[in-house]
């Protein structure tokens, strides 16, 4: 039911913290994968590792910057050459500033919206064009597209999660619903996943107090583990979710439940 045998999957933001365990799980479940990321060197390394481990399947890598429309076109030319068609598109790109409300310029705000919103729209529309037999799209949103960051969690000099990020994620949530309705008749399903707090230990190595403050806001009383997004993403990518579209699954330990 959760098998991905012979499914052709493109994963944007493929080598990030949360994406990495998911792409490996997808390979294990039989998928052919094209790993697209700003960090194309790492994507290339992983594609080679996967080719060695699963020689019957096809793996490729590509550079993409969702804020640069030409790079999106080039990336889709490569997807067409490698796979011809797509069954699944996942996008886990992450673009935001690290600014407070007072610090923003219109240019910096638009930079985030270009990469996160217009870019994701183009990734989705180009993917749909390669899904003549239907398909599934899974887009990473965030709890901060639904609720504002609690300033009490972010002690100075740390800044609260920035406003451009939350605005963009809220926009993505609406894009997911709109495109699900638009492409429903073509059997292209469009869903989202909304992670809660999954602090990357490389970014917060010594900040136990911050992690504890995050955990204190979670009904399950802990932050998310790196591999805990995989279940929801694979469910939405696979035929197990064949009657789901326009939905956003919160994977947040209950953060948004109270
Ligand atoms: N980690 C969390 O706590 C958390 C919480 C809520 C939502 N999310 C969302 O989950 C997704 C994955 O988060 P993560 O923590 O693994 O982030 P990450 O920064 O580790 O990974 C993001 C990946 O996307 C790539 N990327 C960034 N901008 C890009 C662009 N413009 N074009 C192409 N590739 C780009 C990066 O190179 C990186 O490999 C993101 O969408 C993020 O907003 C994460």
Position 205 pLDDT exceeds 80: no
The number of the ligand 1 atom at minimal distance from the alpha carbon of 67 is 31
Whole-angstrom CA distances from 21 to 159, 200, 227, 228, 229 are: 28, 13, 6, 9, 9
Which residue has its alpha carbon closest to ligand 1 atom 33? 65
How large is the angle between the packed helices 230-237 and 19-28, nearest 10 degrees? 50
Distance (Å, rounded) from C-alpha 94 to C-alpha 7? 25
Q: What are phi and psi of 36, to 5 degrees?
A: -115, 135
Work out the percent of the chain whose per-residue pLDDT is above 70: 100
The per-residue pLDDT for 178 is 98
pLDDT digit string, tens, across residues 137-147: 999 999 999 99
Concatenate the DSSP letters of all residues of 152-210 into one string.
GGS-TTS-PSPHHHHHHHHHHHHHHHHHHHHHGGGTEEEEEEEE-----TTTSTT-HHH
Ligand 1, CB within 6 Å, residue ranges: 12-13, 15-19, 37-39, 64-67, 92-95, 115, 140, 142, 195, 197-200
Residue 35 pLDDT level (bands cut at 50, 70, 90): very high
pTM value? 0.98
Neighbours of 39 (CB within 10 A): 15
Name the DSSP class of 228.
G
Residue 58 is encoded by which pair of tokens? Answer: 């096809």
Question: Which of 93, 98, 253 has most ligand 1 atoms within 8 Å of CB, for mutation?
Answer: 93
Share of the chain above pLDDT 90, in %: 94
The residue with tokens 């979670």 is 218
Query: Which domains are delineated in the chain?
Result: 8-257 (3.40.50.720)
Please, which residues bridge with residue 138 across strands?
A: 90, 191
The whole-chain average pLDDT of the chain stands at 97
Dihedral (CA of 254, 98, 12, 22) sign? negative
Instruction: Tell me which of 12, 15, 16 to substitute to probe ligand 1's pocket, judged by most ligand atoms within 8 Å of the beta carbon.
Output: 16
């Amino acid at each position: 039911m959760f098998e991905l045998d012979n499914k052709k999957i493109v994963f944007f933001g493929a080598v990030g913290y949360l994406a990495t365990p998911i792409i490996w799980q997808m390979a294990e479940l039989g998928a052919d994968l094209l790993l697209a990321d700003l960090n194309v060197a790492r994507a290339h390394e992983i594609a080679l590792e996967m080719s060695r481990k699963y020689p019957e399947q096809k793996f490729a890598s590509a550079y993409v910057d969702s804020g640069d429309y030409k790079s999106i076109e080039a990336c889709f030319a490569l997807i067409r050459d490698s796979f011809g068609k797509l069954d699944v598109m996942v996008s886990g790109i992450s673009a935001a500033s690290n600014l407070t409300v007072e610090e923003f310029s219109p240019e910096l705000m638009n930079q985030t919206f270009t990469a996160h919103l217009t870019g994701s729209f183009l990734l989705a529309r180009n993917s749909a064009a390669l899904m003549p037999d239907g398909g599934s799209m899974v887009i990473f949103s965030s709890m901060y597209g639904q609720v504002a960051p609690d300033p009490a969690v972010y002690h100075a000099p740390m800044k609260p999660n920035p406003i451009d990020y939350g605005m963009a994620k809220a926009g993505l949530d609406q894009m997911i619903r709109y495109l699900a309705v638009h492409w429903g008749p073509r059997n292209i399903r469009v869903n989202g996943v909304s992670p809660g707090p999954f602090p990357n230990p490389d970014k917060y190595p010594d900040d136990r107090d911050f992690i504890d403050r995050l955990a204190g806001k979670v009904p399950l009383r802990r932050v998310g583990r790196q591999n805990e997004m995989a279940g929801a993403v694979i469910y939405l990518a696979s035929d197990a979710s064949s009657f789901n579209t326009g939905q956003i699954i919160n994977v947040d330990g209950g953060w948004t439940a109270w």
